[in-house]
Chain A
Amino acid sequence: MNINATLIIQALVFFVVIIITMKYIWPQILGAMEEREKKIADGLAAGDRAEKELNQAKAKVDTLITEAKEQASHIKDQATQMATKIKDEAKSDALAEKERQLNAAKAEIEQEANRAKEALRQQVSALAIAGTEQLLSKEVDAGKHADLLDDLIKEI
């Protein structure tokens, strides 16, 4: 238990151990630890950022969907209006056409009736003349009694 040269040797070994630890052990391990710490911190920050971006994207999508919906309903309204308008127009067109055709038909009927009347009148007058001719035999000359005949035709 005497103090002897072991003390000096131990002190020297002690310094060597400290120097080796200082140069070849401590910086490497602590460096790795600090680097990992930084990596983890970066990773967490990136995660936060991604979440924020995701939220922003979601909000954007929501607004886009709302806008699209609004637009769609607008287009639908417009389409409905347009359809109504087209239907109304078609209806009025059809009515007008019906009126026109009706009128045309009426006019034709009238015309036809007039023509028939005319023809009838002429036939009747011809018949009357023929009858009269037969009655009067050769007495009535168509040329001489044209005025008379015309009056007669008009009367009929």
Chain B
Amino acid sequence: MASGEGGAGEYISHHLVNHTTELVEGNSFWTINTDSVFYTILLAVIYLWFFRRVAKKASAGVPSKTQNFIELIIGFIDQQAKDIFHGNSKVVAPLALSIFIWVFLMNFMDLIPVDLLPWLGTLVGIDYMKVVPSTDLNITFGMSFGVMLIVFYYSFTVKKPAVLGYLKEFATHPFESPNFLVQSILAIPNIFLNIVETIAKPVSLGLRLFGNMYAGELIFILIAVLTLNYGWSDVMSFSGATMGFVQFLLALAWALFHILIITLQAYIFMMLSVVYLNMSHETHDSH
């Protein structure tokens, strides 16, 4: 598969490097990870196309099997969103659905054999790529910051009085005192803690997904390294065949386990987003 004298180190790093396109010459920020963007948009299109197809034909009569399946997912997410989110919003449940399915699909790319898509890429002249968008920090942060932007929007508009309500909360929580002077002093640690919390939310949200998926992908790559540079004669030998069998078993076991992880991570990302959105709608006055 991997031709030439490439060792394990090269193989691994090759799999963990994004295919990039520089928008501005020599500027590392204005660079696009072409592979991540391609796969993430492809998956978004697949998700939207599939669900839209069902939504168009959705009827209140006897549902088709596909519609039944979609309704199962939507019913589940609607229930979860209603349980956690107590406000009244048309955004939260569709947002939860988008996150759950999209992130799941991104994670699912992990289950496609690690070398399949990059190998297909080499056939059309792309020498290397990362196929799992959620192992790209930019993608996970892109979504977690997106969620936080929505949270900020609601924090500023929903809490009363608008804008000031949120800023007031910043200064008066978590430590509060009925005495104005004491409260003024407590504002300093309050603001500090709230800033840390506000930053920690999207960072932890993005990092959690990234970390899990990156580690999972890395283990798939390490399993694949077992038979790295094996030629046809190696595979035909006893030791080579044994190694191949061991690799198959390991990859199977990890893939089965990984099904759980990818679903769980998509679910966690969705739930935490809904939890943050719920916080943005709640006022702490009831304390």
Could you tell me which A residues sit within 8 Å of B by CB distance?
1-11, 13-18, 20-22, 24-26, 28-33, 35-36, 39
Q: Is the CB of B94 within 8 A of A21?
A: yes
Q: State whether A3 touches B58 (Cβ < 8 A).
A: no
B interface residues, Cβ below 8 angstroms from A: 16, 18, 20, 23, 28-33, 36-37, 40-41, 44, 47-48, 51-52, 54-56, 58-61, 63, 67, 70-71, 74-75, 78, 90-91, 93-95, 97-98, 102, 136-139, 141-143, 145-146, 149
Contacts of B44 in A (CB 8 A): 13, 16-17
Known: A21-B97, A24-B52. A7 touches B141 (CB 8 A): yes
Given contacts A18-B91, A21-B48, A39-B60, 18 further A-B contacts (CB under 8 A): A1-B16, A4-B28, A6-B33, A13-B41, A14-B98, A17-B47, A18-B94, A18-B98, A20-B52, A25-B55, A25-B94, A28-B55, A29-B70, A30-B93, A32-B67, A35-B60, A36-B60, A36-B63
Closest B residue by C-beta to A32? B58
Contacts of A7 in B (CB 8 A): 138-139, 141-142, 145
Q: Which residues of B contact A18 (CB under 8 A)?
A: 91, 94-95, 98
Give the top 9 A-B pairs by smallest Cβ distance, nearest first.
A10-B142, A35-B60, A6-B138, A32-B58, A28-B55, A26-B94, A22-B94, A14-B146, A21-B94
B17 to chain A, nearest CB (A): 9
Nearest CB in chain A to that of B59: its residue: A32
Q: Which residue of A lies closest to B24 (CB)?
A: A5
**A8 and B142 contact, Cβ closer than 8 Å, known pairs A17-B48, A18-B94, A22-B94:** yes
A-B contact pairs, 21 of them (CB 8 A): A1-B18, A3-B29, A7-B145, A8-B142, A10-B143, A11-B142, A11-B143, A11-B149, A14-B142, A15-B146, A17-B44, A18-B91, A21-B48, A22-B91, A22-B95, A29-B55, A29-B67, A30-B78, A30-B93, A32-B58, A36-B60
Q: How far is the CA of A16 from the CA of B44 in the complex (A)?
A: 10
Query: Least Cβ distance of B180 to chain A in Å?
Result: 40
- Count contacts between A and B, CB distance < 8 Å: 129
Q: Which of B54, B74, B138, B143 has the most CB of A within 10 A?
A: B138
The CA of A9 and the CA of B40, in the complex, are separated in Å by 10
Q: Give every chain B residue within 8 A of A30 (Cβ-Cβ).
A: 74, 78, 93
A20 and B98 CA atoms in complex are apart in Å by 9
Contacting pair B94 A3 (CB below 8 A) = no
Least Cβ–Cβ distance between A121 and chain B, in angstroms: 121
Contact indicator B56/A28 (Cβ below 8 Å):
yes
B60 touches A5 (CB 8 A): no
Name the residue of chain A whose CB is nearest to the CB of B41.
A13
| Residue from the list A2, A16, A29 in contact with B58, Cβ < 8 A | A29
CB-based contact A22/B90 at 8 Å: yes
Evaluate contact between A6 and B36: CB separation under 8 angstroms. Answer: yes
Partner of A10 from B16, B37, B94, B98 at Cβ < 8 Å = B37
With A13-B41, A35-B60, A36-B61 in contact, is A6–B55 under 8 Å at CB?
no
Whether A25 pairs with B142 at a CB distance below 8 angstroms is no
Q: Which residues of A contact B98 (CB under 8 A)?
A: 14, 17-18, 21
Could you say which of B16, B29, B143, B146 contacts A5, with CB atoms under 8 Å apart?
B29
Is B31 in contact with A10, judged by CB distance below 8 angstroms? no
Which residues in A have their C-beta under 8 angstroms from that of B78? 30
Q: Which residues of B contact A21 (CB under 8 A)?
A: 48, 51, 94-95, 97-98
Q: How far is the CA of A122 from the CA of B63 in the complex (A)?
A: 127
Instruction: Specify which of B31, B56, B67, B91 is in contact with A4 (CB 8 Å cutoff).
Output: B31
Q: Which residues of B contact A2 (CB under 8 A)?
A: 28-29, 31
User: What distance in Å separates the Cβ of B218 from its nearest Cβ neighbour in chain A?
Assistant: 13
Task: Please name all residues of chain B whose beta carbon is closer than 8 Å to the beta carbon of A35 when the two chains form the complex.
Answer: 60
Complex: A25 Cα to B53 Cα, angstroms:
9
Question: B50: shortest Cβ distance to chain A, in Å?
Answer: 10
B16 proximity list for chain A (CB < 8 A): 1
**A4-B47 contact in complex given A26-B97, A32-B59, C-beta closer than 8 Å:** no
CB atoms of A29 and B71 under 8 A apart: yes
Give Cα A16–Cα B54 distance, bound, in whole angstroms.
Answer: 19
